[in-house]
Structure 1
């Protein structure tokens, strides 16, 4: 899992979270499993995380919990790599 942030900005994420689920988000059976929950430094560039003991997933939820004081938050690219189940 990873992200690319283009440059240093107050809109860069300060804290992000990746979660996965097998069930659709609108389903009552949906149960999210957190794979990454981490603060980020205020800089641009690539941030990558290796996930130990992978999870089967059909849905991925990426959440920016906070930024560095800007009026919004953005991510330039998301990187998701996996192996077919």
Structure 2
């Protein structure tokens, strides 16, 4: 149980940090909702690559653990048609 609560805290912290980073970079992306351990953003097409990198980097660095936090990024016009986007590290 404690791990599940910790995971929730990490995701919430990552969410706050990510929104702040997007604002710092002047992005027009908006956080729409959180579904379990996933964040759903609305992003202008011209910003997809930039936002994907910011989101992944910020979320992966939110907590320092013995095991690395890994973030997968998917993009698409709707939740049914999402495809993984490979983002350079």
Instruction: Assess same fold via TM > 0.5.
Output: no
Normalised by the length of structure 1, the TM-score is: 0.35
TM-score (norm: length of structure 2)? 0.34
Give the greater-gyration-radius structure (CA). Answer: 1
The structure whose residues are more often strand, as a share, is: 1
